[in-house]
């Protein structure tokens, strides 16, 4: 049995090293590009979509019938509610990746599933499942309505995540999440870093 040609073996080793180096270089370029395109969060100002319901259920003394507001809010639930919640969760930190892919989220509210694509920090939501979501948020419709009527929705959502009433499931890989701004949004919301 003849030994393998040492020159052939050296060429194979060099090819393998070049492939490994190329992969590492691509990952490094993606990371640097993500840092360079990282932008300041977009300022989003949305009017509370339940304002009319709250006013209609406020008596002359200024007391709000919260039970009635929540019941009516669950009945009239629409995409404006989803957009308002997502803005409170920090979609202003999200942006297109260097490859031009927009952030896409899925929200599961009991039996109802919504999806939202983020453009310029602004959520554009519609009812229905999607296959390419980066992140899935699960909460009850009642919890969503309570968040909207709370005096400080951002704090309400942080507390809701902390006490387990709202669950956040990371679907995309860490590099993809980083390139779209999710890491900062997740950190602001949970106070934790994304692991893995």
Indicate the pairing of strand 135-139 with strand 122-127: unpaired
DSSP tag of 155 = H
Q: What is the mean pLDDT of residues 125-150?
A: 93
**Domains of the chain, first to last:** 51-190 (3.30.1050)
For the record, the structure tokens of 57 come out as: 């259920």
Q: Can you give the pLDDT at residue 83?
A: 92
Which residue would you say has higher pLDDT here, 144 or 46? Answer: 144
Which residue would you say has higher pLDDT here, 124 or 6? Answer: 124
For the record, the structure tokens of 137 come out as: 């948020």
* Contact predicate 104/116, CB 8 Å: yes
Q: Is the pLDDT of residue 10 over 90?
A: no
């Amino acid at each position: 049995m003849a030994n393998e040609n040492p020159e052939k073996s050296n060429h194979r080793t060099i090819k393998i090293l070049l492939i490994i180096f190329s992969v590492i270089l691509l990952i490094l370029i993606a990371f640097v590009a993500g840092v360079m395109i990282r932008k300041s969060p977009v300022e989003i100002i949305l009017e509370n979509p339940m304002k009319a319901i709250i006013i209609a259920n406020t008596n002359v003394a200024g007391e709000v019938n919260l039970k009635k507001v929540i019941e009516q809010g669950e009945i009239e639930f629409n995409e404006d509610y989803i957009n308002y919640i997502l803005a409170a969760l920090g979609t202003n930190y999200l942006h297109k990746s260097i490859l031009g892919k927009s952030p896409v989220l899925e929200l599961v509210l009991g039996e109802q599933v919504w999806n939202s694509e983020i453009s310029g920090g602004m959520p554009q939501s519609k009812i229905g499942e999607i296959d390419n979501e980066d992140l899935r948020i699960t909460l009850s419709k009642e919890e969503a309505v309570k968040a909207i009527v709370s005096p400080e929705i951002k704090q309400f959502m942080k507390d809701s995540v902390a006490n387990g009433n709202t669950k956040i499931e990371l679907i995309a890989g860490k590099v993809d999440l980083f390139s779209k701004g999710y890491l900062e949004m997740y950190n602001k919301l949970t106070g934790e870093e994304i692991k893995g």
